[in-house]
Amino acid sequence: MIRSGRTLTKSAGTASYRWLATAVLRAAAVILLVMTAVFFLIRIVPGDPAKMILGEYSTPEAIARMRHTLGLDLPLWEQFVRFVKTLFTQGDTGNSIIAGTSTRELIAERAPVTLLLIGMACIAAIVIALLLATLAATQKDKLLDHLIRIFPTVTLGMPIFWVGLLLILVFSVRLRWFPVGGIGEGWAGTLHSLALPAITVAFSQIPTLIRSLRVQMLEVLESDFVVTLKAAGIPGRVILFKHVVRNAALPTLMLLGVNISYLIGGTLVVEQVFGIKGIGSLLFTSISNRDFPVIQGIALYCAIGVVIVSLLIEILSWWLDPRTKGTS
Amino acid sequence: MKPITIDSPTPRNGKTGALSRLWRTPSLLAGSIMLAVLVLLAVLIPLISPYDPTKQDLSAFLQPPSAEHWLGTDQLGRDLFTRLIYAARTDLTIMVLAEIIPFCVGVFLGMIAGYYGKWLDTVISLITDTFIAFPFYLIVIIVAFASGAGQRGIYITFILVGWIVFARVTRGLTASFRRQEWVASARTLGLPGVRIMLRHILPNVLPQAIVVLMTDMVGLLVAIVTLGYLGIGITPPTPDWGTMIFDGQPFITTAWWLSAVPGFAVVYTGIALSLVGDGLADLWRKK
């Protein structure tokens, strides 16, 4: 945005608040669109949901009753009003057809383990990516650097569930370091049994992180202030950890935030491989039970989570870097 | 990047020019060879292998690799190598076909959003933001399930979500071209927007879109395989790398290669496609 010099300070201030307001409004608009999309999700599908729930050979009366329970016999706009109402009054997409309880409660029950897994995966991704990127950046153009740079090309085509299986084969079956699946007893047991799934989820994020981290680190390593520090006789290791790695940690976290959507998606799939009873397994049980309200609920909560995390990341980067204020 | 002019001087030996450019781009060459090998195998497999990919032979189940069965047999006595290559036929065909509509729709929407800007751009980017809010695998799983397992479900899923990547890339490029002189001068000449887009902008956004297409195909292949693994993609007995990995999972302690080998096939294809993508990017940047 180009502004005249005299009013720069003042208008930059207003512009930045305007930017913040626009970002929040935009996120709110996307959340509303997400809600609408979730509403239409089961309606764009070919076939009758009531028939899908009850099976091919159900009687017309039973189908009519199910359509009534789901509210599918109402006109579309009335269904939508109902859907939005439940959403805002109960924060819910209706009751589960199978369990009869509220979708929100079902999701809340399963959410902790999934969130813990995502958290652990973030930590694993940051640690591994920082380590490899540091190695690559400090050994620039040597063998190790080339190997680490090939890594993203090779891993791009690796199905995440297959990586999980290979890790199980090596670390659980052969080395017996980790359990093959399920969740252990107590805190220590839980963390221990989630370690391998977390590394699997992290694996899908590491290539992207390494790519951008390596470039960033090289920039810092070749920057004037590092050269000055070196000239001042400060040992390379201290410079590396105190300045280079620390500067790179926050951007890594933010890059993970940008990719939160992939992180969640990967977690849902990896839960299946390791037999973890989180949101992923709830999704698949609901799918095989044709439990539409629960499927909608999971889609809604995941998407809202993604929108909120993306907004927070946007605000964080705006707050950290004044140069971006007023633009974008 | 410069606009393509009508009377660009083409060398008389155009063919050898292209060939020598291919030689000077090692990643493109390597990727193309890797892909060619796979496609050739997939086409010729009925001549290479005496086995049927779906016929069970319970007297020969779970055999380790041998001269008759190059990669051994699975739990139903089917030759693993034969199934692996027939699965390449299934998965690669779907991969290519499922990209056609998303690619065209995405490039088209991205171009008009970037060219016309304003409210049209706002609407299109709000829609893409909404789609992006849903984790890719979540939406793929739900739509694939809802539209029924099998190939139809996969096509519907990718028509719904696949266009976004291309729309985003072309939108950004088109918007940046719009600000450049050659578009501005075409506009002052009074050329209609459609003509400017088709004749001048499209040839310049296509290379980038094709590079993105290569990476996107890797993601699509992985998604097809993942759906197969989860039991909502290609249905047995049609050979598919994902269902093969799933079928091998119970035997991971005794016959680990049943699950490992189909995965390596996916990785091989992924590497080949990324190399082609990187190579094309290099080639067009040099030009």
- Say what the pLDDT of residue B6 is: 45
- Conformational region of residue A96, where left means phi above 0, alpha means psi within -120 to 50, and beta covers everything else: beta
Contact B15, B249 (CB under 8 A): no
* Residue A46 to chain B, least CA–CA distance (Å): 6
- Say what the pLDDT of residue B33 is: 92
- Say what the pLDDT of residue B9 is: 42
Distance between CA atoms of residues A196 and A118, nearest Å: 12
Q: Say if B254 is an interface residue toward chain A (CB within 8 Å).
A: no
The sign one gets for the Cα dihedral A113, A117, A122, A127 is positive
Q: Pick A12 or A161 by higher pLDDT.
A: A161
Contact B208, B121 (CB under 8 A): no
Q: How does pLDDT run across A204-232, given as a tens digit for each residue?
A: 888 888 888 888 888 777 777 778 887 88
Distance between CA atoms of residues A183 and A193, nearest Å: 6
For residue B269, pLDDT over 90 is answered with yes
Contact B112, B261 (CB under 8 A): no
Q: How does pLDDT run across B34-57, given as a tens digit for each residue?
A: 999 999 998 888 887 777 777 777
As a whole-number percent, the residues of chain B with pLDDT over 90 amount to 22
Picking from A22, A156, A168, A180 by the largest number of B CB atoms within 10 A of its own CB, the best residue to mutate is A156
Q: Say if B105 is an interface residue toward chain A (CB within 8 Å).
A: no
For residue A45, pLDDT over 70 is answered with no
- Say what the pLDDT of residue A325 is: 47
Distance between CA atoms of residues B263 and B245, nearest Å: 7
Name the token pair of A115. 């969130």
- Say what the pLDDT of residue B265 is: 93
> What is the SS3 assignment for A261?
helix
Peptide bond into A112 cis (omega under 30): no
Name the token pair of B57. 């032979």
Distance between CA atoms of residues A111 and A278, nearest Å: 6
> What is the SS3 assignment for B73?
strand
Residue in chain A nearest B274 by alpha carbon: A153
For residue A10, pLDDT over 50 is answered with no
Q: Say if A303 is an interface residue toward chain B (CB within 8 Å).
A: yes
Q: Say if A129 is an interface residue toward chain B (CB within 8 Å).
A: no
Confidence tier at B2 by pLDDT (50, 70, 90): very low
Q: Say if A272 is an interface residue toward chain B (CB within 8 Å).
A: yes
Task: Give the helix ranges, DSSP H, for B136-201.
Answer: 136-146, 151-161, 163-178, 181-188, 193-195
Indicate the residue type of A245. Answer: V
* Residue A253 to chain B, least CA–CA distance (Å): 18
Angle at which helix B26-48 crosses helix B80-116, to 10 degrees, equals 140
> What is the SS3 assignment for B211?
helix
Please provide residue A273's backbone torsions phi and psi, each rounded to the nearest 5 degrees: -65, -40
Name the token pair of B225. 């395989």
pLDDT, mean over chain A:
81
CB contact under 8 A, A158 and B222: yes
Q: Say if B147 is an interface residue toward chain A (CB within 8 Å).
A: yes
For residue A295, pLDDT over 80 is answered with yes
Dump the DSSP string for A19-47. HHHHHHHHHHHHHHHHHHHHHHHTTSSSS
Q: How does pLDDT run across B145-166, given as a tens digit for each residue?
A: 777 767 888 888 888 888 988 9
Distance between CA atoms of residues B167 and B157, nearest Å: 17
Counting every residue, how long is chain A?
328
Q: What share of chain B is helix, strand, coil (3-state, %, to 5)?
A: 75, 0, 25
Q: How does pLDDT run across B127-138, given as a tens digit for each residue?
A: 888 888 888 888
Residue in chain A nearest B139 by alpha carbon: A299
Q: Which of chain B's residues have a Cβ under 8 Å away from the Cβ of A117?
A: none
Q: Say which of A156, A168, A265 has its CB closest to residue B252.
A: A168
Distance between CA atoms of residues B11 and A251, nearest Å: 47
> Which domains does chain B show, CATH number per domain?
38-286 (1.10.3720.10)
> Is 0.90 surpassed by the pTM of this model?
no
Burial of A108 (0-12, 13-18, 19+ CB in 10 A): exposed
Confidence tier at A13 by pLDDT (50, 70, 90): low
CA angle B7, B9, B14 (to 5 degrees): 125
Q: In which residue are the tokens 């660009």 written?
A: B8
Confidence tier at A271 by pLDDT (50, 70, 90): very high
Distance between CA atoms of residues A294 and A229, nearest Å: 57
Q: Pick A66 or B22 by higher pLDDT.
A: A66
In whole angstroms, how far apart are CA B277 and each of B25, B75, B268, B284? 11, 37, 14, 11
Name the token pair of A128. 């591994």
Q: How does pLDDT run across B205-227, given as a tens digit for each residue?
A: 898 899 999 989 998 999 999 99
Nearest CA-CA partner of B149 in B236, B72, B78: B236
Indicate the residue type of B113. Answer: A
> What is the SS3 assignment for A268?
helix
Name the token pair of A179. 């359990």
Listed in sequence order, the residues at least 6 apart from A239 whose beta carbon sits closer than 8 Å to its beta carbon are A226, A229, A230
Average pLDDT over residues A147-158: 82
Residue in chain A nearest B278 by alpha carbon: A153
* Residue A259 to chain B, least CA–CA distance (Å): 9
Residue in chain B nearest A27 by alpha carbon: B129
CB contact under 8 A, A46 and B249: no
Picking from B125, B127, B136, B137 by the largest number of A CB atoms within 10 A of its own CB, the best residue to mutate is B137
Nearest CA-CA partner of A34 in B103, B171, B135: B135
Distance between CA atoms of residues B213 and B224, nearest Å: 16
Please provide residue A222's backbone torsions phi and psi, each rounded to the nearest 5 degrees: -95, 5
Q: How does pLDDT run across A296-312, given as a tens digit for each residue?
A: 899 999 989 989 998 88
CB contact under 8 A, B126 and A162: no
Distance between CA atoms of residues A45 and A68, nearest Å: 18
Nearest CA-CA partner of B226 in A169, A208, A167, A165: A165
Confidence tier at B287 by pLDDT (50, 70, 90): low
For residue A103, pLDDT over 60 is answered with yes
Q: Pick A254 or A23 by higher pLDDT.
A: A23
Strands (E), chain A: none
Burial of B210 (0-12, 13-18, 19+ CB in 10 A): middle
Q: Pick B83 or B12 by higher pLDDT.
A: B83
Confidence tier at A153 by pLDDT (50, 70, 90): confident
Q: Say if A173 is an interface residue toward chain B (CB within 8 Å).
A: yes
Indicate the residue type of A150. Answer: I
Confidence tier at A321 by pLDDT (50, 70, 90): low
Cβ count within 10 A of residue A165: 24
pLDDT, mean over chain B:
82
Contact B144, B232 (CB under 8 A): yes
Q: Say which of A34, A156, A287 has its CB closest to residue B274.
A: A156
Distance between CA atoms of residues A218 and A206, nearest Å: 18
Round the CA-based radius of gyration of chain A to a whole number and report it.
25
